[in-house]
Amino acid sequence: MADMDGTAGGIGVILILAFIFWLYIWLPASMAADRGRSSVGWVILTLLFSPFITIIALMVLGPTVEMALARMRN
């Protein structure tokens, strides 16, 4: 057996935590901000329910009316 000092396991844990951070915090927050919605509110919903549910909800809801009008003007 190879001598493990815990470094490989530590890197794996860090990668898993980074993925969870990306999935639960960054992705819904950035999607909400791009659509003119509250980033904090959607992150809270993600923590309460599931990132998959909130991501689908954000895609279905789309941008706010104000955001859609602003994009049409540009």
Q: How far is CA 41 from the centre of its chain?
A: 12
Which runs of consecutive H residues, i.e. helices, occur in the chain? 7-21, 27-34, 39-48, 51-61, 65-73
Model pLDDT, residue 58 = 96
Per-residue pLDDT, 70: 87
pLDDT in tens, the chain (74 residues): 455 566 667 888 999 999 999 888 999 999 999 999 999 999 999 999 999 999 999 999 999 999 888 888 98
Stated pTM of the model? 0.73
pLDDT at residue number 1 = 47
Angle CA 9–15–20, to nearest 5? 125
